[in-house]
Structure formats: structure tokens, C-alpha cells
Amino acid sequence: MSKWVIVGGGMTGMALALAGSAAGQQVLVLEGAAETGGLTGTMPMHVGDTEVIVDRFYHVILESDTHVLALLDQLGMRDEVRWSSAPASVVANGVSYPATSFTDMARLPALSLPSRMLIGLSIGLSLLLPRFLADRLTARRWLTLTAGPSAYRNFWAPILRAKLGNQACRVAASFLVFTFRRLVSARLSGAGDRFGVLPGGYAEVLRRMEQKITGCGGEVRTGATVAEIVITGQSAEGRIRITLADGTQIFCDEVFVTTPGPITSGMLPQLTADEHDRLTAAPHLGVICGVFLVRQPPNDSYITYLVDDADLTGVIGMHALLPAVETGGAALLQLPRYCASDDEWFELSDEQIRDRLLAELARCLPDYRPEVIDWAISRAPHVVPLPLPRAREPLPHQTSLPGVHVVSTAQNTSGTLNVETSLHQAEAAVTG
């Protein structure tokens, strides 16, 4: 039995630890925060005296998420998922239109008949776009070329903004190719197009994962921030020395680092200059998310796309997927602002962010004034590297340092982050 230390207790780290424990390794997870979960972490909120556990960031499961569903099976939780179709709408100049399907979107009044036909053509051509071209053009350039400026402005720009906020104009066309192919392969695989949610988010999933890890003799240590990882070759306990922020030292022969690229780079001073560059070169997409429990939602939609420029990326209505009984009778709204990792909003207080998000909401949906029962602000400066044109190849899992593996969003080249990809990546790192 060898000792595996896993840095980061998000879904990737916990999945690695679960796989390692099942394979008979002695596993230690070091998580810097007070709780495991990372981006899938949860928090308590209140509706009167009722406490409800809420996702810090909204999460849905697709019927094609085979790794997520297999994990839920393993934990005896598949029946906990609430499945439903997810209505969507789009708001332009304060007026709301249905946008649940591409057909709805293509019927938007701002789109002429030729624009609608060009939108169909742009999807078809994107599926055929060869990789070397997709990696060189921006999505904006490609879609403006294939669908025309009007369809880009009124159709594609709001969709891209809902995924990438004010960073949407920078990404490569490969982001589209990946997204369209994922949607098409989900359809072809026969999986349905309903969305699933776990009441209380991933809290219970993480609790059961930890239970299984500790049941196999492993340990999950929270509040354990890793400051440095170096190869020493000096200790009988292992060649790799991990130093925590409080000075504690841990030795092992295998370490898996699951933190975002820039944090990973700072922890591993012995990596080569090329490896540091690959971890830090791409600017990261960040997100600030207002989480609001409100008396009445603005509409029945899971997602409301915003055509007009806004400091808000979109409106996520979890009430469309979660029965109200799971949220103390209130409606759960999430107001994300996807942005650069150095966005000025990261400097603002929670109250300032709340006020700005609500002001933007009032500007975009002039007929809606939410009665807020409870609120919180979640922040993540390093969600995923932005897939820019001519990006560098990501770091392989095995670094130049023997026994030091990087398994994190640093290897995500698609710009689309989901738990399915995290679990798939963890599996690939363990099975080689």
C-alpha cells in the first residue's frame, strides 16, 4: 500500500480519493477550506426559522452525465435526483420571449427569416469545423462570418454571454465545437434532455464520499491549506515533502494536486519554466454569484438569457427545477456574473455586490421587484482557463517531478466545466 496525498477536496479531489481508497491506497485529502466541495460546496440559508442547504453555485445534472450517475449509484443516491424539463426565456428591451429550444430562439422577433436560416447553417458548419481552424478563430468571428452580424448580436451573443459573461468575445471557436458536439452526442446516445438537481446540492454526495474514504482507512482533513510541495529525497516516510500554511510537514511518494493552474503553479516551485507557463498562461474565467431566496420568482424559467448588455450574465431560476418544499417555500434565484479572474467586482463587499446585482436585475426586468428573504454572495476567481485562440497544450497529468500529478481544471481546454468532466478526468488520472 502506498500513501496518496490529494491536494484539494473539490469533486476532482474527492473522486480521486474514493478511487484510491477503493484500490487499497492509504489516502489523505488536504482541503484548504473549512468544508469539502470547492465549487460544488453548499451553505446554509434561512427562510424564517427554516434552514435550507443551498448550492454556492448552481448545479444541474444531464441525463448523459454517465460518470455522475454512476457515482450516485455507488453512493445509493440516484433516486434523490429531481428530473424535469427546463424552460428558458430571453429578455430583450425589458420584454420576455420563450427560449426553451433552438426553435423558440430562432423565432425571436428581432431575427429575420434569412437570419434564422443562417443560424441553422452556423450550427451545421461549426460541427464540421476542423480543429486547427477552430483553435485559431474566435467564436465571435466565426459566428459573425457564418450567421451574419444581426443573428450574432440577437441570437449568439446572449447565449455566449450566459456561459462566459464579459469574456465571451475572447474565446476560440473550439468552445462552440466542443459544446455543440456534446449536445449532439447526448442526443445521439439516446439520453433525454431533462435537467436533474439534487436538493441540498452536492452536500450529501460529499458526506457519503467522505464516509466511504474514511471507512477504507483514509482521512479527509479540512482547514489544511497547502503552501509548498517539493521533492526532497531525504525522508524515509517519502520523497515528497508537503508543507501546510501552518508549517506542518507531510511526506509521501505520490501527490495529486487538484487546485486551479495558477494556485498549483505557486505550490510547485520545482516545476520547469515550461510547466509553470502552461499552468498560468491562459487567463481564467471567474464568477461572482448572488444567491437569493425570494418570495416570488420573475418567471418560470430555469435560465433567462439577457440580450441587452448587462453587468449580470443571466438569471438562473432554480425554483424551475427544485420543488419549493426543498427551499422552505421560497424561490431560489442565482444571479451570476462571469468575468475575468481580476475583475474589479472581486474587490467589492458582499453588500455592494448584492446592490449592484439587484440594480442590474431591475434594469433588465423592469416589471420585477424581488422580495428578498435571505441572500449570500459566492466568489470563485479561477473557475476554468479561457479557451483562447492559439492556446498552449495543457500539462499532462504526470509532471516532470516523479510522483507529482496535476489533475485539475488546468487541463480543461473546452472552457466548459462540469462535474462529469471532473469525474472523467479523475478516473483517467487513476487508470492512466
Ligand X SMILES: Cc1cc2nc3c(=O)[nH]c(=O)nc-3n(C[C@H](O)[C@H](O)[C@H](O)COP(=O)(O)OP(=O)(O)OC[C@H]3O[C@@H](n4cnc5c(N)ncnc54)[C@H](O)[C@@H]3O)c2cc1C
* Residue 290 binds ligand X (CB under 6 A): no
Residues 139, 226, 271, 361: which binds ligand X (CB under 6 A)?
Answer: 226
- Closest contact distance (angstroms) between CB of 427 and ligand X is 13
Residues 3, 4, 6, 7: which binds ligand X (CB under 6 A)?
Answer: 7
- Closest contact distance (angstroms) between CB of 316 and ligand X is 8
C-alpha cell at 54: 443551498
Q: Which phi and psi angles does 156 have, rounded to 5°? A: -75, -40
Alpha-carbon gap, residue 17 to 1, rounded angstroms: 14
- Of 88-96, 99-107, 183-191, 419-427, the segment contacting ligand X by CB under 6 A is 419-427
* Residue 264 binds ligand X (CB under 6 A): no
Kindly give the pairing relationship between strand 26-30 and strand 3-7: parallel
- Of 206-214, 319-327, 397-405, 412-420, the segment contacting ligand X by CB under 6 A is 412-420
- Closest contact distance (angstroms) between CB of 305 and ligand X is 16
- Closest contact distance (angstroms) between CB of 339 and ligand X is 11
* Residue 122 binds ligand X (CB under 6 A): no
Alpha-carbon gap, residue 304 to 310, rounded angstroms: 13
Q: Using CB under 6 A, which residues numbered 175 to 214 contact ligand X?
A: none
Alpha-carbon gap, residue 65 to 54, rounded angstroms: 22
Residues 3, 5, 12, 155: which binds ligand X (CB under 6 A)?
Answer: 12
Burial 203-223 (b: 16+ CB within 10 A, else e): bbbbebbbebbeebebebebe
Kindly give the pairing relationship between strand 88-92 and strand 26-30: unpaired
Residues 20, 199, 200, 336: which binds ligand X (CB under 6 A)?
Answer: 336
Order of strands, sheet of 95-98, starting from the edge strand that comes earlier in the sequence: 95-98, 88-92, 303-306, 314-317, 331-340, 284-294, 372-385
- Closest contact distance (angstroms) between CB of 158 and ligand X is 17
CB 58 within 8 Å of CB 175: no
# binding residues, ligand X (CB under 6 A): 35
* Residue 259 binds ligand X (CB under 6 A): yes
- Of 8-16, 19-27, 114-122, 175-183, the segment contacting ligand X by CB under 6 A is 8-16
C-alpha cell at 84: 424535469
- Closest contact distance (angstroms) between CB of 351 and ligand X is 21
Residues 58, 142, 292, 302: which binds ligand X (CB under 6 A)?
Answer: 58
Alpha-carbon gap, residue 50 to 46, rounded angstroms: 6
Residues 4, 5, 6, 10: which binds ligand X (CB under 6 A)?
Answer: 10
Q: Using CB under 6 A, which residues numbered 19 to 48 contact ligand X?
A: 30-33, 38-40
CB within 8 Å of 93: residues ≥ 6 apart: 307, 308
* Residue 391 binds ligand X (CB under 6 A): no
Residues 3, 5, 6, 8: which binds ligand X (CB under 6 A)?
Answer: 8
* Residue 252 binds ligand X (CB under 6 A): no
Alpha-carbon separation of residue 48 from 77, 327, 374 (angstroms): 29, 11, 9
Alpha-carbon gap, residue 234 to 314, rounded angstroms: 53
Burial 255-293 (b: 16+ CB within 10 A, else e): bbbbbbbbbbbebbeebeeebbebbbebbbbbbbbbbbb
Pick between residue 266 and residue 329 the one whose CB is nearest to ligand X: 266
Residues 3, 5, 6, 11: which binds ligand X (CB under 6 A)?
Answer: 11
Residues 4, 57, 256, 375: which binds ligand X (CB under 6 A)?
Answer: 57
Pick between residue 162 and residue 172 the one whose CB is nearest to ligand X: 162
Residues 408, 411, 413, 414: which binds ligand X (CB under 6 A)?
Answer: 408
Residues 42, 126, 174, 258: which binds ligand X (CB under 6 A)?
Answer: 258
* Residue 86 binds ligand X (CB under 6 A): no
Dihedral (CA of 328, 333, 338, 342) sign:
negative
Pick between residue 60 and residue 330 the one whose CB is nearest to ligand X: 60
Pick between residue 58 and residue 292 the one whose CB is nearest to ligand X: 58
How many other C-beta atoms are found inside a 10 Å radius of the C-beta of residue 199? 18
Pick between residue 32 and residue 290 the one whose CB is nearest to ligand X: 32
Q: Using CB under 6 A, which residues numbered 270 to 289 contact ligand X?
A: 287, 289
CB 337 within 8 Å of CB 287: yes
The residue ranges that bind ligand X (CB under 6 A) are 7-13, 30-33, 38-40, 57-60, 225-226, 258-259, 263, 287, 289, 336, 380, 383, 408-409, 417-420, 422
